[in-house]
Amino acid sequence: MLTWLTHSVNGLAYGSLLFLVASGLTITFGLMRTVNLAHGAFYLLGGYLAYDLTTNGTDYWLALLAGVLAAATGGMVVERAFLHRLAGSELPQIVLTLGVAYIIGDQILANYGGDPVAPPTPPGLEGPVTIGDWVFPKFRLVMIGVAIALAAVVGALLKYTPTGAKVRAAVDDEEIARAVGIRVPLVFLLVFGCGTGLAAFAGVWGGAFTSLAPDSGFEVLLLALIVVVVGGLGSIGGALLAAFLVGLVDQYGKVWFPEWALFTLYASVAALLAVRPRGLFGKAVFR
């Protein structure tokens, strides 16, 4: 009984990690409709930077902030220099961001080598929690809470603040948004920076959870992409639900039929997309 509880909570915790990664993607991909395959690379960038700084004695939260800011800046540079030229055409976006991901991943490999590293667990969250007979790592439990809180905050920001309204307006109808005085390029730039910053945050936290390696960025990226699409492009709640589902399917797949682990996950996602391309909570299919 307790084993099943552990498996379930483990699945939810992994799902939360996926949501942390996917939250940035829901904004840049789901909302802005910009495909960013370098998202996983920014995840790595944040994680490795925080790892580097903390091993050199920097305060944890400062290192986290540095990682997030670096990735946000990097993301904004990529958006301003390249991506905004390719608005609306996914294929070049995919090729370009994959190129960026290759460069970042290769430079990380050159500087830190191929061995996995792990940024430290946030201070105060080390060790287990004990509830009755049930023992579970505190960090993972907190992660679930953080994912839910993040979903609520991002959703509320988009829905209830003037900034959020501007973002939605810029996405829905760029021309009219410009006509009423919204600085659309600036909005997109900042939104993209937020997206990659969130990726870096996920990298620092997720790195402590699963550890980082130069090629783990793509692994996480694919799962996060799936979460975003299954949840429905642009739907934050959908992404959270999808993240939990994917986490649970992944965990139980590994427990019940390890030989079919990845297959069950991707095949069920493919089946869902084949019959319902817009995902669980997506609006009607664009294009």
Partner 1 sequence: MSVAEKKPAGAAKDRVLSRRGITVTGGFAVAAVLLVLVPSFTDSFYTFVATRMLLLGLFATAYNTVFGFGGMSSLGHAAFFGIGGYTVGIAVTRWDWPPLVVLAAAVVLGAAVAAVFGVMCLRVRGIYLLLLTLALAQAIAGLAFYQTEWTGGDNGIPNIPRDGLPSSVREGDGYYMLTLVVVAVCVALLWMYQRSPLGMSVVGVRESEARMSATGYRTGRLRVVAFTVSGAFSAVAGVLEVYLQGSVSTANMSWLISADVLVFAILGGARHFLGPFLGAVLVTGLEVWVSTYTDRWTTVLGIVYIATALFLADGVLGRAGWAVRTTKSWWEKKSSPGGAAPPGAAADPAGVPAEVRA
Contact residues: partner 1, CB under 8 A:
35, 82, 85-86, 90-96, 98-103, 105-107, 109-110, 218, 222, 225-226, 229, 258-263, 265-267, 269-271, 273-275, 277, 285-287
Burial 56-92 (b: 16+ CB within 10 A, else e): eeeebeebbbbbbebbbebbbbbbeeebeebeeeeee
Distance in Å, CB of 262 to partner 1, minimum? 3
User: Shortest distance, CB of residue 98 to partner 1, whole angstroms?
Assistant: 6
Integer Rg of the chain from CA: 19
Taking the least distance from each CB to partner 1, the nearer of 149 and 285 is: 285
Of the two residues 83 and 191, which places its CB atom closer to partner 1 in the complex?
83
What's the min distance (Å) between Cβ of 109 and partner 1? 8
Query: Least separation, in Å, of the C-beta of 86 and partner 1?
Result: 7
Shorter beta-carbon distance to partner 1: residue 59 or 106? 106
Least Å distance between CB 93 and partner 1? 7
Q: Please state, in angstroms and rounded to a whole number, the distance separating the CA atoms of residues 104 and 29.
A: 20
Closer of 36 and 121 to partner 1 (Cβ): 36
Cβ 244 to partner 1, closest distance in Å? 18
Q: Is the CB of residue 165 less than 8 Å from the CB of residue 34?
A: no
| Nearer CB in complex with partner 1: 99/127 | 99
Q: Contact 92/201 with Cβ under 8 angstroms?
A: no
Give whichever of 92 and 164 is closer to partner 1, judged by the CB atom: 92
